[in-house]
Amino acid sequence: MIRLRLSIGLDYQVYDPGCDFIFNIHAAQTDRQRVLEETLTLNQNVPTQVETDAVTLNRYLRLSAAPGPLSLRYSAVVELAHHVATPTQIGEVPVPQLPAQVLSYIYPSRYCQSDRLLKLAMREFGQQWQGYARVQGIRDWVQQRVAFTQNTSNTNTSAIDTLIDSVGVCRDFAHLMIALCRAVNVPARFTTGIDYGADPALGPTDFHAYVEAYLGGRWYLFDPSGTAIPMGFVRFGTGRDAADVSFATIFGTVGSASPRITIEAIPGADGQLVTPRHSSDALSTDG
């Protein structure tokens, strides 16, 4: 089992009185992602509220801040007990057997216009074996066609833009992979965490966006940008696409600094240090 210690520091300058924030920076709690300890500290003395969405398990921190500086620090120790499976044994779930609550993840969303990619996806992936390998094929296809470049996309950039422009950041890779999965009826969702294991040359440790695809009755992890190590992903939020799971949704005018994020592997209960590593196994931390 992998044990990770992480911290997130966020700093804002609030200009409007009663500026509302919705944060999604708490580690999700699942059977396979246990939050052993966590602390939230805040420089302002305002009431906070943490709600857990019953369907996604996303945990939302809501608060109204006063004008002036707002600083949050969230830190946690999380233990991951991955479900590990052999890719060749994981098939897709035929549409009639998809659970109702999974169905919406084959429908198009703001940034993942899968409805427009049906023919393209059928041409590229229609003949492949319908299982984990096909989704891996989609991940690789995206990775080969998109160049990872900072500051090439914005909040309006969608999967279709990324396919055309052939450039983007982790969020854009995720959107394109999700759109292509849905176009071949594989449920796929947008997931946020920390870019564990990312090359320091890409910049300081940051939030990360990756993909979970529903295969063999379970949500498996994929990292289409190829910039991090999936085994070290701690899930914060999951949703249809980036529209649903911003780490901070802000209603009002604020200035903001870059987030300060750390994540490290630490020894488990048995004193053993297990470090996340690239693996050819299929991994899931959901259910």
Q: Which of 1, 84, 147, 257 binds its own copies (CB under 8 A)?
A: 147
Enumerate residues 65-124 that contact its own copies by CB under 8 A. Answer: 94-96, 100-101, 103-104, 107-110, 113, 115-117, 119-120, 123
Question: CB of 124 within 8 A of CB of 141?
Answer: yes
Question: CB of 7 within 8 A of CB of 73?
Answer: yes
* Only segment of 27-35, 49-57, 70-78, 274-282 that touches its own copies (CB under 8 A): 49-57
Q: Rounded CA gap, 47 and 64, in Å? A: 8
Does residue 46 interact with its own copies by CB under 8 A? no
Does residue 243 interact with its own copies by CB under 8 A? yes
Does residue 167 interact with its own copies by CB under 8 A? yes
What is the per-residue burial (b if ≥16 Cβ within 10 Å, else e) of 166-179?
ebbbbbbbbbbbbb
What is the per-residue burial (b if ≥16 Cβ within 10 Å, else e) of 213-228?
bbbbebbbbbbbbbbb
Q: Which of 160, 202, 248, 265 binds its own copies (CB under 8 A)?
A: 160
The size of the interface with its own copies (CB under 8 A), counted in residues, is 43
Bridge partners of 60, per DSSP, are 51
Enumerate residues 222-241 that contact its own copies by CB under 8 A. Answer: 239-240
Q: Rounded CA gap, 142 and 137, in Å? A: 9
Sign of CA dihedral 169, 170, 174, 180: positive
Does residue 15 interact with its own copies by CB under 8 A? no
Judged on CB neighbours under 10 Å (0-12, 13-18, 19+), 147 is: exposed
Does residue 201 interact with its own copies by CB under 8 A? no
Q: Least distance in Å: CB of 199 to its own copies?
A: 21
For residue 232, what are the CA distances in angstroms to 12, 135, 283?
28, 20, 11
Q: Least distance in Å: CB of 124 to its own copies?
A: 9
Enumerate residues 253-282 that contact its own copies by CB under 8 A. Answer: none
Which residues lie near its own copies (CB under 8 A)? Answer: 20, 22, 51, 53-55, 60, 62, 64, 94-96, 100-101, 103-104, 107-110, 113, 115-117, 119-120, 123, 145, 147, 155-156, 160, 163-167, 185, 239-240, 243-244, 251
